[in-house]
Chains A and B, each alone.
Chain A
Amino acid sequence: MKKKKILVVDNHPIILEYMSKFLSKDGHEVRTSEDGLHALDLLESWRPDIIFVDLIMPNIDGKKLCQIIRAMPEMQDTYLIILSAAAAEEQIDFRAIGANACIAKGPLDKMGQYVVAALHDAEHGRTRDAQERIFGVENLYSRQITKELLTIWKHFEVVLGSLSEGILEITAGGRIVYANPTAIALTGIPEERLLASSVLGLFDAKDKLLVRDMIDRVAAEASMTAADSPVKLNDREFLIKLLPIRDDMKRTLIMVLEDVSEHRRIEAQFHHAQRMEAVGTLAGGIAHDFNNLLMVIQGNISLMLYELDPKHPFHDRLRSIEKQVQSGSRLTAQLLGYARKGRYEVRPIDLNQLVEEACETFSRTRKEILIHQELARDLYAIEADAGQLEQVLMNLFVNAADAMPGGGSLIVRTANTDHHAMKGKLYNPKPGNYVQITVSDSGTGMDKKTMERIFEPFFTTKEMGRGTGLGLASVYGIVKGHGGFIDVDSQKGKGTTFRIYLAATDKPVVRNGAEAPEPITRGSETILLVDDEQMMLDIGRDLLQAMGYRVITARDGEEAVEVYRGRSGEIDLVLLDIVMPKMGGGQAYDCIKAINPAVKVLLLSGYSIDGEATQILARGCNGFIQKPFNLEQLSRSVKSVLTGNGTQKKGNGGTGLARGIRA
């Protein structure tokens, strides 16, 4: 027989010694390895003709070792012989793991004969087929202890296979000798390549040092250690834990990989939402306080204008200050809108006028975008909050402009349509006439995946710091809030078109700011003014007294109820702030209403009509006026409630800086 190069891999020293002596005496070149990992290291520089492999071994077992060897192109012709101590207990299919033959370990006299027979097969390149038995299996009987150990291992294999955590067994030197199926899937590396490789190779450069330190620490101290912060692996984030294993055969470590990517994402989203909520609350609070300040300024201006001859040189200056107060009020309205405490002032409007104004404003800020307007003549009126629809248009324009970084064309169309024309949509519109607004750009467009998510809050494709992910989400919210519909068409590279449908109305359009100021109506009734801020009480009293009213003041809800209880016969109207210490406006309203169900109450607040004001109105309160208001608005609102025309519903002819209460 030709002399062969033979490798024997077995962790039992007596078998290794025997095989080495038995094969060497016939002149073969024999090398030995105590485990799979050592064998693989040896194979890097030495290529044997025949390899004997024990099945149950530490640091990469026999089955895995055969599979790894068979995956090496240069080892395709190597003759692999399994040396099994558990051939009788384990139903082993040696061909399935790439081996050519299998010898059952047993008394050495018999085993020696089988080794000779197997070498003979190897010489002739013959693989034992399915009909042939394992060498020596006839001398074996099933042993209880081996069966028990195999059963335990099989149970653990099921447990390890079902864990959601990745489990890696590594040597103190950081070489991987076992990986459970989850670990293999998480790393995305085939088992044949993963085993025997360095665990450090799995991690990003910045995490390598941390993992190396952990391994060294656990290997030295033999106690468990866990990383405080996640490490990156295969573009996901993992918390890693290392546990030492020590027995008399080997010293290895178990690395547990817990995928926390999703958890971290949700956590980050939650923190973001919390931050937005906190900023919203802060913005709302600031807006409220500013409205009170503006109210005092506005009130004083109103009083001065009321008493000043229009020809007086200061008259124009006061009007100019009043305009600035109105600008300030618009700013606070935006803050309140951001805080989701925005006004919801629905009235019949002309959408074309709104579109024209929005286009003009936008053109001034983004000169590289050319806007084409194709507005339908005789467009139906719609009932909407003009401020919010302006926000919708602005958000769509900004979105379109960002999709055209080098400039481009934006087409805005309005058209009359009806529910028949909206067939084939995912939504089911109520029968009737609708107005369609279309905003089209010639920008980069979106793929389907992006399109599915664009209305989700916090979803953005813009780089960090540019998009909040709230623009299109608020567009969606506002359109939905108006009972409308929105859809989007887009193709990558071909631009995007948004279509919005809003129900038409037969009500005549109310033109904003087109009306001549109404004259101040004087009165002589008695008004109980309730506010917790002294400056508000002062200016409110002055304004009301300027119009001829008699004023009684109260500084909170409790005092108001007390005063009303004693003087209900002389009080014709209660002007009631909502947010106050001790007893708020809501509770005060209920108490006063209980004293006199016919009481007339006008709410006033630095917050918007949304929220508590709406609830109080729903309980029968007569009206709402938002701070800051001028003399004309106050006059109109007070008169409206006193004459019995003031019962309000949310959004129905709502109040505000420019309009006040309308019946």
Chain B
Amino acid sequence: MNFNEMAETIGLDEQDFREMAELFVSVGVADLDKLREAYANRNCQGVVMSAHSLKGASANLGFNDIYEIARRVEADARAQKLDGAGEAIGELERKLAGISAALGHH
């Protein structure tokens, strides 16, 4: 995860980007909690909303893998499909933890 390169893309220095990424992780964890709860309740609309939020924030900062997973979960839930959501939630959790860990190395 090259934060310096990602920072440059959006016109910030690395330190500023790291702070943005910290914020993204905390907002992302909150979205993920809502996603998990909606999935547990088989609430498709709730899954769509939280996946949509996660998708937007990740796209803004350039976390493209998270963006892709969130986009897929949103599209499936919109079609009333929640089959892959459980697995996707685990994947999103790991990705966010990965960013968090990367931020912690510095």
Contacts and interface: CB of A to CB of B under 8 A. Distances in A.
Interface of A: 13-15, 17-18, 21-22, 25, 85, 106-109, 111-113, 144-145
A144 B78 contact: yes
A21 B20 contact: yes
B101 to A, nearest CB: 20
Contacts of B19: 17, 21
A145 B23 contact: no
A107 B62 contact: yes
7 contacts: A14-B24, A14-B57, A17-B19, A25-B16, A85-B56, A109-B62, A145-B52
Contacts of A13: 23, 27
Contacts of A144: 78
A21 B15 CA distance: 10
B23 A109 contact: no
B62 A145 contact: no
B80 interface: no
A89 B35 CA distance: 25
B23 A107 contact: no
Given A21-B20, A144-B78, A14 B10 contact: no
Given A13-B27, A17-B19, A108 B61 contact: yes
Contact of B60 (A15, A25, A113): A15
Interface in B13-42: 13, 16, 19-20, 23-24, 27
Secondary structure type dominating chain B contacts: helix
Contacts of A112: 10-11
Contacts of B57: 14
B20 A18 contact: yes
Contacts of B4: none
A22 B78 contact: no
Tell me the dominant secondary structure on chain A's binding face.
helix
Contacts of A22: 10-12
B11 A145 contact: no
Interface residues of B, number: 22
B27 A109 contact: no
A109 B59 CA distance: 10
Contacts of B49: 145
Sorted from nearest, which 3 A-B pairs have the closest CB atoms? A108-B10, A112-B11, A21-B16
B12 A25 contact: yes
B60 A18 contact: yes
A345 to B, nearest CB: 82
A141 to B, nearest CB: 12
Given A17-B19, A18-B10, A145-B78, 4 more contacts: A21-B19, A22-B12, A144-B78, A145-B48
B43 interface: no
Contacts of A145: 48-49, 52, 74, 78
Nearest to A144: B78
A109 B9 contact: yes
Nearest to A24: B16
A15 B23 CA distance: 11
A17 B11 contact: no
A25 B78 CA distance: 41
A237 B8 CA distance: 62
Taking each of B12, B23, B49, B60, which has the highest tally of chain A beta carbons within 10 Å of its own beta carbon?
Answer: B60
Contacts of A108: 9-11, 60-62
Given A13-B23, A13-B27, A109 B11 contact: yes
A224 to B, nearest CB: 25
B26 to A, nearest CB: 9
Nearest to A115: B11
Contacts of B60: 14-15, 18, 107-108, 111
B68 to A, nearest CB: 14
Interface in B43-65: 48-49, 52, 56-57, 59-62
A509 to B, nearest CB: 92
A85 B9 CA distance: 20
Nearest to A146: B52
B37 to A, nearest CB: 12
A85 B52 CA distance: 13
B70 to A, nearest CB: 12
Nearest to B28: A14
